[in-house]
Amino acid sequence: MKLQTQRFIDRWLGQLLCGVVSGWVRLTAAAPRPVENPRNILVILLSEMGSIVLAGPMFAQLRRNYPGVNIHILQLKKNQEVSRLLQLTSPECMHSLDDSSGGSLLKDILHVSKEMRALGLDAVIDCELFSRVSALLSFTTGAPVRVGFTPHTQEGLYRGSFINHAIPYNPYQHISKQFLSLVDALQSAGSQPRNKAAPIRELPTDTELRVDFSAPELQAYQAKLQADHPVAATRKLVLMYAGGGILPIRAWPAAHYARVAQGLCAAGFAVGLIGLKDDAQLAKDLLAQIQSDACLDLTGYTRSIRELLMLFHASKLLITNDGGPGHFATLTPIQTMVFFGPETGKLYGPLGQRNSVLESGIACSPCLSAYNHRLTFCDGDNQCLKRIAPDPVLDQALHFLRAAPSSHA
């Protein structure tokens, strides 16, 4: 189903259903209560795959607070690969929605709601910001404790009043901290904002997620990479993700990427252009501009997220647009440089110490938010990214690469 169609349904039908459910709950619901000794908690996380990494500290905190709890995860079917790789929960506790069409999505919503009611959930945590479908799902699962974001007194998007352990979405706090606040809200006794009484938390520096690779496995992958692309055996490898994914407005200009790649190749490094098969034409266009044998087309080269992480292990630096690759990189030793503009690194920046967020600071940036369903007003002219000049980016990349140890390609 197209993104615009989803937004239209969520806006009009979603608001109506949220109003109906709110009225029903107001007449029939008991007073909210804290969660005590839960056996089953459902986490609804329908966003992009990178959000799963940012939610890592939340999952770790849930396990610390409730040892032995069964954490169920509801995701879009296309995003489940990451959860399986990270072993966020057991396979039988992973549930999915197929959003490829309206019919398949409705069918899965009914199936999951029935399945969760039969399970007897103790609580549900809705990690979506102002999505109405996820809020409605938190109700249809039958969980007595429903945790999620609501506008409260802000002029946010209407989600009804049936989220009975609600906290306000805060556009000034990193999303990983807000996910932790959702865990704190499980212990609240009402729907008023609970972050007043919640612990004071610093921004997590560790995702608390791991993907284990054996040394022979990484060595075998690096040998394959060098056999397929011999230049990677003699030069340190820099990866670039120039695609914009589902939000092309987040892409730094292709000409800027080409300029940086030319400089890196001239300085003795190899550059690998990564992405999905859909990014193949972009990579072809970039190769035509760069015109260097040290620049490689690696779009479609990795067949899974696990292989992508092994490629990160075999590389020194990732230069990327805002999106999944920058977050997946935090699970490996690679250094990252991530461009932000339509969205902000202050809210969605990768966790950890091995990344650098690049932003222009233009007055209209960021323009994508939960309040506008991530619909920009710049009509495709993303000056916030265009004004990040390529030469300073090249200088920063070279400074890191020349200072980094040369233990691997």
- pLDDT per residue as tens digits for the range 340-365: 999 999 999 999 999 999 999 999 99
pLDDT of residue 285: 97
Number of Cβ within a 10 Å radius of residue 214: 8
Domain map (residue ranges) of the chain: 3-185, 215-403
Query: Which CA distances in Å does 290 have to 30, 163, 263, 274?
Result: 65, 52, 9, 15
Question: Who wins on pLDDT, 407 or 177?
Answer: 177
Angle at 342 between CA 339 and CA 348, to 5 degrees: 65
User: 157: pLDDT confidence band, cut at 50, 70 and 90?
Assistant: confident
3-185 matches 215-403 in fold: yes
Residues of the chain with pLDDT > 70, as a percent, come to 96
Task: Report domain 3-185's class.
Answer: alpha beta
Give CATH superfamily name and number for 215-403. Glycogen Phosphorylase B; (3.40.50.2000)
pTM: 0.91
Which CA distances in Å does 115 have to 29, 44, 48, 111, 124? 22, 14, 24, 6, 14
On the CB side of 326, CA atoms within 13 Å amount to: 30
